[in-house]
Amino acid sequence: MNDTPVIYLDNNATTMVAPEVLEEMLPYFNRWYGNPSSMHSFGGMVGRRIREARERLASLLGASEEEIIFTSCGTESDSTAIYAAIRSYPEKKHIITSRVEHPAVKNLCDYLAKNGYRVTTVGVDKSGNLDLDFLYDNLTPDTAIVSLMWANNETGVIFPVEEIAEKTAAAGIVLHTDAVQAVGKIPIDMQTNRIDMLSLSGHKLHAPKGIGALYVRKGTKFSPFLIGGHQEKGRRGGTENTASIIGLGKAAELAAAKMSEENTRVRELRDKLERELTQRIPNCFVNGKDAPRLPNTASIAFEFVEGEAILLLMNEHGICASSGSACTSGSLEPSHVLRAMGVPFTAAHGTIRYSLSVYNTEAEIDVVIEHMPGIIERLRQLSPFWKSGACMAS
């Protein structure tokens, strides 16, 4: 590990803990370390700070405090939501999800499919938009839950979950959304929609890792995932992660304050990155370009080169991003999201995801724009497929 400055464009993977967040958290490790469940006021005062954090997070979501359950991460929130629904409706044996979900939902649904559930996966078109007709056609009285992400982690494509919620609510079916990538980046108001459950994760919005939350709309049938103490009104046992909950509350307050910057300045930086790279580099395109997308995410396919090699050359310049290629993940198949969108092999293996945050500057984006054409050209000179690529372009 060293302290060389990096250009961090991997904010959909995780984010820096905001300095204001860290500052609020620190005293709760070794100064005010009491247990909020204790009778003494030393613990009780921590309980008050947790209530404040809950209010702050509820306010970001347009929710009320009792609709927020703190969890350990986005994955726990997703599992809690899906198990809550299927345990609340034991007679229903059908689940609907999409082909492009995060593993937290996808792998759980795959598991349930092997354990007595019928799982319908809704496809997407080449822009990444959900096949709504197929979704609506498959809502049945046997459907226990529909779980669809709000925004995709790889492409940033936004699903119309609020519109979908009207249909599922009318059909009396629980709708859960994995909003891990959406919360803090786009405005969300649970008062104006009919979504039943929503998962979020602290470390995607400048709170620490190891803290998440699940929104559960008042009146939604619920069954706890972690059974234990009376914490979170008996909906999630386990002593509260006090410092991190307080951190998440502060991060939610900051996200609300920076929402407009995210959707103006950060969006402009992202658009500049996409515009300049697609202009300067032949045979490259933006995945999901024509779909509604998060303001911070650019998924760019560079044809005939491989993602891991691109990332390592970017790393030489201190630029951090992610790839949809097989090699980076250790799996042998390229991203299931890009495959679902029908991105050809020629491009899926060479897709790089740049994800920005409010901490990125225009100077950083300019450095990336300056280095990328050389990196891609260098690898294409090594690629046995590049000659045919050049022909195809002409």
Residues 6+ apart with CB under 8 A from 144: 85, 86, 89, 92, 93, 94, 95, 117, 173, 174
Residue closer to another protein, measured from CB, 77 or 322: 322
Q: Which of residues 13-42 bind another protein (CB under 8 A)?
A: none
Residue whose C-alpha is closest to residue 21's, from 359, 253, 239, 356 = 253
Residue closer to another protein, measured from CB, 136 or 345: 345
Residue closer to another protein, measured from CB, 83 or 285: 285
d(CA 161, CA 209): 26
What backbone phi and psi angles, to 5 degrees, belong to 20?
-65, -35
> Could you tell me how many residues of this chain bind another protein (CB under 8 A)?
34
| Shortest Å, Cβ 327 to another protein | 4
Residue 8 binds to another protein (criterion: CB under 8 A): no
| Shortest Å, Cβ 316 to another protein | 7
Residue 383 binds to another protein (criterion: CB under 8 A): yes
Among 113, 171, 326, 367, binds another protein (CB under 8 A): 326
Residue at 216: amino acid letter: V
- Give me the residues paired with residue 120 across strands: 96
Among 177, 296, 325, 355, binds another protein (CB under 8 A): 325
| Shortest Å, Cβ 384 to another protein | 4
Residues 6+ apart with CB under 8 A from 301: 284, 285, 286, 287, 338, 343, 347, 348, 350, 351
Residue at 254: amino acid letter: L
Among 27, 172, 187, 342, binds another protein (CB under 8 A): 342
Residue at 10: amino acid letter: D
Residue 345 binds to another protein (criterion: CB under 8 A): yes
| Shortest Å, Cβ 309 to another protein | 5
**Segment lying near another protein (by CB under 8 A), choices 42-50, 165-173, 276-284, 341-349:** 341-349
Among 27, 141, 344, 374, binds another protein (CB under 8 A): 344
d(CA 353, CA 346): 16
Q: Which of residues 93-132 bind another protein (CB under 8 A)?
A: 123, 125-126
Which member of 73, 109, 284, 327 is catalytic? 327
Outline where DSSP puts E strands in the chain. Answer: 7-8, 68-71, 94-98, 118-122, 143-149, 174-178, 197-201, 212-216, 284-286, 297-302, 319-320, 322-323, 351-355
Residue 137 binds to another protein (criterion: CB under 8 A): no
Radius of gyration of the chain (CA): 22
At residue 253's C-alpha, the angle toward residues 251 and 257, to 5°, is 110
Catalytic, 320? Answer no
Q: Which of residues 363-382 bind another protein (CB under 8 A)?
A: 381-382
Residue at 213: amino acid letter: A
| Shortest Å, Cβ 338 to another protein | 11
Query: Are the CB atoms for 353 and 297 separated by under 8 Å?
Result: yes
What backbone phi and psi angles, to 5 degrees, belong to 190?
-70, -10
Name the helix (H) or strand (E) containing 108: helix 103-113
Residue closer to another protein, measured from CB, 2 or 191: 2
| Shortest Å, Cβ 287 to another protein | 14
Q: Which of residues 281-320 bind another protein (CB under 8 A)?
A: 304-309, 312-313, 316
Catalytic positions, written as ranges: 327
Binding region for another protein (CB under 8 A): 123, 125-126, 304-309, 312-313, 316, 325-328, 330-334, 339, 342, 344-346, 349, 381-385, 388, 392
